[in-house]
């Protein structure tokens, strides 16, 4: 029987620094909110300030994520200053009812495919077409959990993606994938003996 591997759980979901700066980021958010509330603003100014508040906090979050990526893996990514907008949301909704999905970049399935971030969102992976793979739900899940098989991994053409995404794929994801391939190999050899 294969040995059970004990997985060490992360104490902090998004890393210690992200956790430790939570109060500061919340205070910044509240500072904006109380300013907006205190002044009797016309609707347009009100909305613009809300937008500025959201962008400021998003920029700070993005900076934290990008620093993590830079210190841990030496990969630099551009800071993101955009926040999800109603327009993006509606476009995404419209897409989900269309029959024009781009085919899965691994298996060609096109009944439904997702945008899959190569550099994940929690380390500020850019919302950029070139940081996405189009993957069917199964391959999306397997990709996120580094459980693709070798053939599936090799089908993906990373050369057309952002340079930072290629680096991340090679230096982070591929290493985790290789660990997975090795673990299957070990399991097989244990089962044989
Ligand atoms: Zn697929």
CA pseudo-torsion sign 142, 146, 150, 153:
positive
Distance, CA of 167 to CA of 158 (rounded, Å): 9
Domain boundary among 23, 39, 74: 74
Tokens 């391959």 appear where? 139
- Asked if 41 and 130 sit in the same domain, the reply is no
Domain boundary among 74, 107, 129: 74
Secondary structure letter of residue 39 according to DSSP? S
Give per-residue pLDDT as tens, 57-100: 888 888 888 888 888 888 888 777 666 667 777 777 777 677 78
Model confidence, pTM? 0.73
Q: Measured in angstroms, how far is the CA atom of residue 84 from the centroid of ligand 1?
A: 27
Q: Measured in angstroms, how far is the CA atom of residue 155 from the centroid of ligand 1?
A: 11
Please report the pLDDT score of residue 91 as a whole number.
Answer: 78
- Asked if 61 and 143 sit in the same domain, the reply is no
Give the CA distances from residue 80 to residues 60, 66, 92, 190, in Å, rounded to whole numbers and listed in that order.
9, 9, 19, 47
Q: Measured in angstroms, how far is the CA atom of residue 104 from the centroid of ligand 1?
A: 5
Task: Classify residue 84: in a domain, yes or no.
Answer: no
Task: State which residues form the domain around 106.
Answer: 97-193
**Which residues have CB less than 5 Å away from ligand 1 (the ion)?**
104, 106-107, 109, 136, 139
pLDDT band at 135 (very low <50, low <70, confident <90, very high): very high
């Amino acid at each position: 029987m294969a040995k059970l591997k004990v997985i060490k759980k992360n104490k902090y979901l998004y890393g210690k620094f992200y956790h430790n700066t939570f109060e500061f980021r919340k205070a910044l958010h509240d500072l904006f909110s109380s300013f907006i509330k205190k002044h009797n603003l016309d609707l347009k100014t009100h909305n613009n300030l809300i937008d500025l508040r959201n962008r400021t906090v998003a920029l700070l979050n993005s900076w934290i994520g990008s620093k993590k990526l830079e210190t841990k893996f030496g990969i630099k990514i551009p800071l993101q200053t955009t926040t999800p907008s109603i327009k993006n949301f509606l476009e995404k909704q419209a897409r989900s009812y269309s029959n024009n999905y781009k085919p899965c970049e691994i298996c060609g399935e096109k009944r439904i495919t997702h945008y899959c971030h190569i550099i994940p969102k929690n380390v500020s992976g850019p919302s950029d077409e070139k940081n996405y793979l189009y993957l069917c739900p199964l391959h999306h899940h397997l990709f996120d959990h580094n459980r693709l098989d070798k053939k599936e991994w090799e089908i993906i053409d990373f050369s057309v993606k952002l340079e930072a995404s290629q680096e991340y794929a090679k230096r982070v994801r591929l290493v985790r994938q290789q660990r997975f391939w090795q673990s299957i190999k070990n399991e097989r050899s244990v089962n044989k003996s």
